[in-house]
Amino acid sequence: MKEPLQDIRRALLEADVSLPVVRKLVGSIAEKAVGTGVIRGVRPDQQLVKVVYDELISLMGGQAAHIEFSGTPPTVILMAGLQGVGKTTACGKLALYMKKKGKSCMLVATDIYRPAAIEQLITLGKQVEVPVFEAGTELSPVEIAKRGLKEAKEKGTDVLIVDTAGRLQVDATMMDELKQMKKVLNPNEVLLVVDAMTGQEAAALVSAFNLEVGITGAIMTKVDGDSRGGAALSVQEVSGKPIKFVGEGEGMNALELFYPDRMASRILGMGDVLSFVEKAQESMMKEDAEDMQKKIMEAKYDFNDYLKQLNALARMGSMGGVLKLIPGMNKVTPQQIREAERSLSIAEAMINAMTPEEREDPELLAKSPVRRKRVATESGRTEAQVGQLISQLYQMRAQMKNLAARMQDGKMPGLEDLEELSKGAKLPPGTARRKKGKSELQKQLSAIGNKQSAPKGFGSKN
Ligand SMILES: Nc1nc2c(ncn2[C@@H]2O[C@H](COP(=O)(O)OP(=O)(O)OP(=O)(O)O)[C@@H](O)[C@H]2O)c(=O)[nH]1
């Protein structure tokens, strides 16, 4: 586990997760990973990534956290954060979000130090068609907030969102102001707006706001940028409060609930491996795998197994999805993927047209042109294609024997073998089966098999 744990450590640090959090995480992961049952069809190091992923999700609160609405309106949301993090934008986005939820909403502009900020909120309010309460720059922010609340109560507004002044850095005046506002507003939510690009400094920032003012959650903005989002872990870690929303762009629609699983996969930057492991978990039933292993050993692989395998692939997503999940396969062209998908469905149609006996005993078809013709007619394919499918099955049986021999030598078949086998379904209509040289797809698949030791296929012991 040493090497994969190093990779994970690196991924976390690159994602700007703070060092103490990384240390803690890697320690607890090492503990958890030992004794975790190994899933068939998945490499242990890939499975380790999944353990980390699950741990990250639980560190970020597990589930999406929602806004706490007040029993008696208005629900008051006080927004806090440094200058330029996207606080005012987030106010507009949140107002639109509430509107879409069927809640009436009002915004309050209290940034008396920057008239431009008040103007910005008024513009955003117009854009999302939500009224903005403002009182110029003469009154104190606390007084404006008080009046805004009064007006919201009078109008029976459901949600009141109070924008506040930011500073370039954490400073005492800003904190005092926020504390006073909190006192007069008694808000249901105090949401700290954090820029995802803040990186490791997020920990200190969140900690300061939480200690001074007390927050109920955070909104992480600019996750559409380059940052890998490690700051998200710090928020929960230092404050124990969840991120409730993420901002994913400048537009008013670009606000989403925060889903810890999405962020975890972003932080790890190993999304492909993760989805592969998850899909393999779902679709590669243990029994199926054991059954298949037995068949491989006995070289009794028949059309039923073939179909089962096709279905397993289908359950793992479309062929395109599966291919893309294999590290390094991103270069496969959409046309190649479409071809592979079509070939799979052609083979499936032919197998479905076979009788149960024919599926179990391919000899019956091999010997009888009448049977082959019937299968061709029923599946809407040519006799030549049925013939090709049958010889593919025999080829696969031969490969199975090789595999069995390799397994007895202690070598486990890999996903590349699964792919190689699934190519039994690769029957471009009317074309000769034996092409000179390998197709691009085949070349890529075997290149990956050699270079990257792709995930183990079913039938492997580990
Ligand atoms: N790409 C991207 N840009 C964002 C996002 N949220 C805000 N911005 C941009 O970030 C800049 C600053 O946003 P503001 O909302 O003005 O920041 P603020 O925190 O209110 O700043 P002050 O009013 O100065 O306190 C603006 O140009 C926004 O368009 C986001 O989620 N993604």
Statement: residue 425 has pLDDT above 90:
no
Q: How far is the CA of 232 from the centre of ligand 1 (A)?
A: 18
pLDDT at 428: 34
Distance CA 189, CA 161 (A): 10
> Rounded CA gap, 112 and 135, in Å?
9
Provide the mean pLDDT of the chain: 77
Looking at residue 107, its pLDDT comes to 98
Question: Is the pLDDT at 407 greater than 60, yes or no?
Answer: no
What Rg value do the Cα atoms of the chain yield, rounded? 30
Pairing assessment for the beta strands 132-133 and 243-247 based on DSSP bridges: unpaired
Tens of pLDDT, residue by residue over 15-36, are: 888 888 888 888 888 787 776 6
- The rounded distance, in Å, linking the Cα atoms of 185 and 162 is 9
Q: Which of 218-222, 302-306, 320-324 shows the highest mean pLDDT?
A: 218-222
Report the percentage of the chain scoring pLDDT > 70. Answer: 69
- Given pLDDT bands bounded at 50, 70 and 90, which one contains residue 394? confident
Average pLDDT over every residue of 194-213: 88
| Mean pLDDT on 221-245 | 86
Query: CA angle, 138 as apex, 136 and 141 as ends, to 5°?
Result: 80
Mean pLDDT of 352-374: 91
| For residues 121-133, average pLDDT | 96
Q: Whose CA is nearest to atom 25 of ligand 1?
A: 83
The whole-number pLDDT of residue 403 equals 60
- Host H or E run for residue 131: none
Q: Is the confidence at residue 308, as pLDDT, over 80?
A: no
Instruction: Write out the DSSP string of 328-385.
Output: TGGGS-HHHHHHHHHHHHHHHHHHHTS-HHHHH-HHHHHH-HHHHHHHHHHHT--HHH
Average pLDDT for residues 335-348, to the nearest whole number? 70
Taking Cα atoms as reference points, which of 172, 183, 419, 408 lies closest to residue 312? 419
Ligand 1: distance of its center to the CA of 89 in Å? 5
Residue 423 pLDDT > 60: no
Q: In this model, does residue 238 exceed pLDDT 60?
A: yes
* Mutation choice for ligand 1 from 112, 223, 250, 252, CB with most ligand atoms inside 8 A: 250
> Ligand 1: residues within 6 Å at CB?
81, 83-89, 117, 120, 166, 221-222, 224-225, 247-250, 254
Q: Which segments of 129-253 does DSSP mark as H helices, in order? A: 141-155, 172-185, 202-212, 231-239
Q: How far is the CA of 352 from the centre of ligand 1 (A)?
A: 57
For residue 190, the cross-strand partners are: 78
In ligand 1, the atom with minimum distance to the C-alpha of 85 is: 19
Enter the tokens of residue 304.
């039923």
Please tell me the pTM assigned to this model: 0.62
Task: Map out the domains of the chain with their CATH numbers.
Answer: 2-59 (no CATH), 75-259 (3.40.50.300), 279-444 (1.10.260.30)
Query: Using CB atoms within 10 A of its CB, is residue 124 exposed (0-12), middle (13-18) or buried (19+)?
Result: buried
pLDDT digits (tens, 9 = 90+) for 128-170: 999 999 998 999 999 999 999 999 999 999 999 999 998 777 7
Q: Which residue's CA lies nearest to atom 3 of ligand 1?
A: 250
Residue showing tokens 């209290």:
110
Q: Which of 192-196, 253-257, 320-324, 454-458 is predicted least confidently?
A: 454-458
DSSP 201: G
